[in-house]
Amino acid sequence: MYSEKVMDHFSNPRNVGEIEDADGVGTEGNPTCGDLMTIYIKVEDEIITDIKFKTFGCAAAIATSSMITEMALGKTIEEALKITRNDVANELEGLPPVKMHCSNLAADALRAAIEDYRKKQT
């Protein structure tokens, strides 16, 4: 059902945790399935220098959270905003159709964290 890459990110998630003094925090959830993701970002000179996540959900939710943190780390804010839901799923070598909403949550949580960061800058 899941690719080896999904299982790896589920079994050994990267960047798990919380950033106490995060520059941006974004939370997204899906009331239908109960998945809830929070992404924390630290930004210096418009570059994401640290990123962590906390996720309550299934294997796909944890794997997509882990993957999006790896994809966004070291990128500029503008580059991170261009990461799509499909990019996350493709990096994980696919997700079952019934689990594609998890990649949506991960991308949306990252965007929410960036929006929070931008609000705090003004």
CATH of the domain at 55: 3.90.1010.10
Q: Is 58 a catalytic residue?
A: no
Number of domains in the chain: 1
> Which one of 3, 5, 8, 33 is the catalytic residue?
33
Single-letter residue type at 78: E
Whether residue 24 contacts residue 49, with contact meaning beta carbons closer than 8 Å, is answered with: no
Residue 30: the pLDDT is: 80
Q: Is 102 a catalytic residue?
A: yes
d(CA 44, CA 39): 17
Long-range contacts of 79-87 (CB under 8 A, 24+ apart): 80/48, 80/110, 80/114, 81/111, 81/114, 83/107, 83/110
pLDDT in tens, the chain (122 residues): 899 999 999 999 999 999 999 999 999 998 777 889 999 999 999 999 999 999 998 899 999 999 999 999 999 999 999 999 899 999 999 888 887 776 688 999 999 999 999 999 98
Residue 99: the pLDDT is: 79
Q: pTM of the predicted model, to two decimals?
A: 0.93
Beta-carbon contacts of 54 under 8 Å, excluding residues fewer than 6 positions away, are 16, 17, 18, 37, 38
Query: Domain range for residue 43?
Result: 4-121
Distance of CA 45 to the CA centre of its chain: 21
> Which one of 61, 68, 95, 102 is the catalytic residue?
102
